Amino acid sequence: MQSTEQLPNGLELLQRDDCFKLGQDSVLLSAFARPRRFAKVLDLGAGTGALALLCWRADLQITGLEIQPEAAQLFRQSVEVNKLENVTVLEGDLRKIRNLLPHGCMDYVLCNPPYFKRSAGKVSPLDAHAMARADGQAGIEDIAVAISYVLGSGGKCAMVFRPERLLSLFAALQRVRLVPKRLRFVHQAAWKAPSAVLVECRKGSSPEGLAVEPPLLICGEDGSYSAEYQSIYHPD
């Protein structure tokens, strides 16, 4: 069944029950990411285009790369519905990035990568929703290589990941000269362990100067949504 979700920035996102739907992580990552003006931006593993549309600005040139045909087609339909002339949807496997995009063609990469290993027993190979959250199609190493390939020197990427796999992420990034420069943990509440981590990297940068930002709290002490969280979902 197909439905339409209005995003915080006013754009419309077409969704379908058999494709991975808009989640909190994409919304929080879009608020964390900081592509410069007039940047060329790639949404890697774009799905139905939620992250790309959340980060949309008129000055950006946005490309979404997605392997699943059904999701890519929904993304194209959303682009048409919103009459966006600066968004392109590519269908293909990020592991074959060299056949899809030129080297160093992007300034900023967005990625909501798979969180879990297929061997962890958390997904079914027949579940399209789970495939979007597990590295059965591409592992974090493949993703890091693809990001590094499309970024020019000094280019940046932003992603959301699970804290318990942060070491694996950093190891994959280090191998391809992607240096973490901003880090922010997401907590459901101040007294709870982080449920996600937002990371921004710069290609070819010095390993010094990692900024660990104050935590992003989903809820306040009374259990209601925090003011910052509400402002992300309901910007002025």
Average of pLDDT values for 122-137? Answer: 47
Angle at 176 between CA 20 and CA 157, to 5 degrees: 45
Q: What is the pTM of this model?
A: 0.90
| Cβ pair 53, 78 in contact under 8 A | yes
Dump pLDDT digits (tens) for 164-202. Answer: 999 999 999 999 999 999 999 999 999 999 999 999 999
Dump pLDDT digits (tens) for 57-66. Answer: 999 999 999 9
Residue 71 clears pLDDT 50, i.e. is over it? yes
Q: Which residue has the tokens 């915080």?
A: 8
| Cβ pair 21, 2 in contact under 8 A | no
- Model confidence at 235, in pLDDT bands (50, 70, 90)? confident
pLDDT at residue number 137? 67
| Cβ pair 187, 218 in contact under 8 A | yes
- Nearest C-alpha neighbor of 117 from the set 169, 49, 68: 169
Half-sphere exposure of 106 (CA within 13 A, CB side): 26
- Model confidence at 117, in pLDDT bands (50, 70, 90)? low
pLDDT at residue number 22? 80
Using only the alpha carbons of the chain, give its radius of gyration.
Answer: 17
In our burial notation (b when 16+ CB lie closer than 10 A, e otherwise), range 210-234 reads: eeeeeebbbeeeeeeebeebeebee
Dump pLDDT digits (tens) for 88-97. Answer: 999 999 999 9
Residue 114 clears pLDDT 90, i.e. is over it? no
Retrieve residue 113's tokens. 């990568």
Our separate counts of H helices and E strands in the chain read 7, 11
